[in-house]
Amino acid sequence: MLDFFSRKKRDPQDSEQAQAPGHEGPQAGEAIQEEPQASPDVPGDGASPAPPQDGPMPAAEEAGGEDAPPSGPEAEKRKGWFGRLREKFSPGPPEDAPAGTGEAKAGDPLPAAASQGEDPAQAGESPVETGPAGDQPPDLPGTALASGAGPDLPAATGQSGETPPGDALDEKGEAPERKVGWFGRLKQKLASTRDKLAGRLETVLSATRTIDDDVLDELEEILITSDLGVKTSTDILSKIRGQVARKELNDVEALKASIRTRISEMVMAQAMPPVDAKPFVTLVVGVNGVGKTTTIAKLARIHQNEGRKVILAAGDTFRAAAVEQLSIWAQRLGVPIISQPTGADASAVVFDALTAAKARGADVVLIDTAGRLHTKTNLMDELKKIRRVAAKAIDGAPHETILVLDANTGQNAASQAKIFNESIGVDSLIVTKLDGTSKGGVIVSIINEERLPIKYIGIGETFEDLRPFEPEAFVEAIMGPR
């Protein structure tokens, strides 16, 4: 009871402090003394009416008053993270910004005007230019430049082999692979084959003091397991065994040089007789998954670079989306393509393509065919039919039959070369995917046993990664320097 009267006689100043902002208010369980308030329309005793306790504070009072803007840590706290970020990247000094711009506090969502692309001035915000997303100023890092649309960024390239934005460049602004050159890239891509062949040969010979039959047997095992094949490995060492038996070869360095010389003699490319025909018809064959369609696109680029007019024939009407895939390549290269829907007769597509090539004055016709296993007799017979139809359309066509082989298959690639050559006749070979395998030694086996020349090798996915086969460069890449 005494506590009640003591609170009632409290100083009026305490009552005003209790209603001031920031006051904690009465404790739980205490009664609140209600004072009669004057009507807003009645002047009263000259004192200003107390502000309402519920609802938001007036804008002037929340901002600290019009005449006394906040400063120091309190002002930085009220700006929030987004306000400080906007001041940092704004062109003018932050002190010139008008009071009451309504910067968002840390953790608050963006204003509706900024998020929906409306005029910020209508929502009580300072006008801020926004980027493509509408939620960041364009001069903030990582907005327009992240999409590659900045004026200082080079345009991204696809299959041309040029360095796309973001790749590391040297101090001269050149890509590392271009600086290394073709032979350096060849050595890099064939590192697995070199380690498997030359590396193991070096390991055995470096620990050898006397050359005997046991050492030669171990060397033969290394050659066979490096995918040179039994026959080719035997051919390499047969002459060396005779020299060792006659005591003509007893030096380790001379033995290494002799092995290298024998491999070099085997991979010397067989000369292909030139064919003077227009249009020059090339039939590309191979099993599934060796990269025929992509290789055809790379061949078309090579002919384009040499100034020839190319036409593509979509003869793979069996595999789903094969026609569409070759059509995309034709569109990228800007070359015409002759095709029919999936399931059509491949021979009819070839006949139409050769007829169009003669009418349009094309220089080269590249014919894609469906992938087929070399063990399927009926599919091999279909290739023979394509060859007969091509010969009816143009005398002597096809002028060249190229077999595409995947180096990852090792000795199976050698078997494919043998059966395709026996079935339809093969003029030259393209060996792809040498960059992802340690079985590059199969090239030596194919050339030695089938007497077929390697026309191109593929060591990557770009157009520049399909290059003419150079025997000496290949031997140095898989055997190391002399």
Query: 123-143 b/e with 16+ CB inside 10 Å = b?
Result: eebeeeeebeeeebeeeeeeb
Predicted confidence at residue 243, as pLDDT, reads: 87
Q: Encoding tokens for residue 159? A: 């299959």
> Cα dist. 350→56, 295, 337, 362, 371 in Å?
81, 18, 11, 14, 16
Predicted confidence at residue 456, as pLDDT, reads: 95
Q: Are 277 and 396 in contact (CB under 8 A)?
A: yes
CA–CA gap between residue 237 and residue 248 (Å, rounded): 14
Predicted confidence at residue 437, as pLDDT, reads: 82
Predicted confidence at residue 423, as pLDDT, reads: 86
Q: What is the pLDDT along the chain (482 residues), one digit of tens a residue?
A: 444 444 444 444 444 444 444 444 444 444 444 444 444 444 444 444 444 455 444 444 444 444 555 566 666 666 676 677 667 666 554 444 444 444 444 444 444 433 344 443 344 443 333 333 334 333 433 333 333 333 333 333 333 333 333 344 444 444 444 456 777 888 888 898 999 999 999 899 888 878 888 999 999 999 999 999 999 999 999 989 988 888 888 888 889 899 999 999 999 866 666 778 899 999 999 998 899 999 999 999 999 999 999 999 999 998 888 999 999 999 999 999 999 998 899 999 999 999 999 999 999 999 999 887 766 777 778 888 999 999 999 999 999 999 999 999 999 999 999 989 988 899 999 999 998 788 899 999 999 999 999 999 999 888 989 999 999 999 999 998 87
Predicted confidence at residue 268, as pLDDT, reads: 81
User: Which single residue is written with the structure tokens 């390697």?
Assistant: 454
Residue 179 burial class via C-beta count within 10 angstroms: exposed 0-12, middle 13-18, buried 19 and up: exposed
Query: Given CA atoms 214, 218, 219, 221 in this order, what sign does their dihedral have?
Result: positive
Give the closest residue to 281 by CA, choosing from 379, 378, 392, 373: 392
**3-state class (DSSP) for residue 434:** helix
Angle value at C-alpha 215, between 209 and 218, nearest 5 degrees:
140
